[in-house]
Amino acid sequence: MSMSPDRYAITFACYNALPYTKLFVESLMKTRTPLQRVVAIDNHSSDETLSYLHSLGLGSVIANQDNYGCGVAWNQGIMALQAEWTIIMNNDVIVSDHWVENLIETAERKGLKIISPALIEGELNYDFESFSKEASKKLAYVLRPNDPHAVCFAIHQSVWKDVGLFRATPKLIGFEDTIFFHEARVAGILGATTGASWLHHFGSITQSLMKAERGLQQKDALGNRYNYRLLQQSWWQRKLEKIQRTQRRKLARDAEFKEFGMSLHGIRNQEAFTWL
């Protein structure tokens, strides 16, 4: 299995949380993901994140003078290293062997322009390397249509012309992905999640830190409370979409669990998995 690294670029934004960024980068190196294809955007961290990023030999490191949110940072990364496929991802994740190849090859086989890997979230108290190797074989051909997620998603370059880049508005913090996925659906571009590629996600570490710094509760949104108006949908439309999305995920989970004893989205809590 081989793929030219020139076909893709990886970009992530970070704000403090250096221990998680180190775990992420170490997993990239362990899986032989070329660091020269990675762009990191530091949103004005106050810890040693920036100096660490500069020590790595990444494709590019961008240092912002303030925290402008993910939309601005993602756009900076997209333009700094342009490629056929751009992979947008969190810095609080661990990647698995062949995660890039499996992600992009599945998208091309299925004719998809947006695709996400399967996820385990929560505590890293299990052997993720062995788990992901087995899971990616077992669920290699399992797909959840119309259900990508913002923890990690690969986007084909053609999407930028049809949908545009991300809304670069700081008040949208935490809502940029919702608007992007919505606009992609309106344009007829339906993404998916694949069981061929897996990540472990520790769970929105950066957003949790930012909420704590701003005196917000974890249930509170970081962005403006009226951001949903940008979707230009009525309350009933949003409610119906949420119900339909929940029903689709439940049906998908039940079908996956019935056949494989697991699904494409799991939560690790203590010593057990909960499948979603």
Q: What is the pLDDT of residue 215?
A: 57
Which candidate, 203, 194, 173, places its Cα nearest to that of 256?
194
Rounded-to-integer distance, Cα 53 and Cα 33, Å:
16
Determine the structural domain holding residue 131 and report its residue range.
5-275
Q: What is the pLDDT of residue 223?
A: 59
- Please check whether residue 262 is in contact with residue 275, taking contact to mean a CB–CB distance below 8 angstroms: yes
Q: Note the pLDDT tens digit of each residue in 203-256.
A: 865 565 554 555 555 555 555 666 677 778 888 888 888 898 899 999 999 999
- Please check whether residue 83 is in contact with residue 159, taking contact to mean a CB–CB distance below 8 angstroms: no
Q: Note the pLDDT tens digit of each residue in 86-141.
A: 999 999 999 999 999 999 999 999 999 999 999 999 999 999 999 999 999 999 99
Q: Is 243 exposed, middle or buried (0-12, 13-18, 19+ CB in 10 A)?
A: exposed
- Please check whether residue 151 is in contact with residue 265, taking contact to mean a CB–CB distance below 8 angstroms: no
Q: What is the count of structural domains for the chain?
A: 1
Answer yes or no: is pLDDT of 30 > 90. Answer: yes
Q: What is the pLDDT of residue 218?
A: 54
* 32 phi-psi bin (left φ>0, alpha ψ -120 to 50, beta other): left
Rounded-to-integer distance, Cα 8 and Cα 156, Å:
9
Task: Return the H-helix or E-strand segment holding 255.
Answer: helix 235-260
Please give the backbone phi and psi of residue 155, each rounded to the nearest 5 degrees, phi first: -125, 130
Q: What is the pLDDT of residue 211?
A: 46
CATH assignment of the domain containing 91:
3.90.550.10
Q: Note the pLDDT tens digit of each residue in 32-55.
A: 999 999 999 999 999 999 999 999
Q: Is the dihedral of CA 160, 74, 189, 241 positive or negative?
A: negative
Please give the backbone phi and psi of residue 150, each rounded to the nearest 5 degrees, phi first: -85, -5
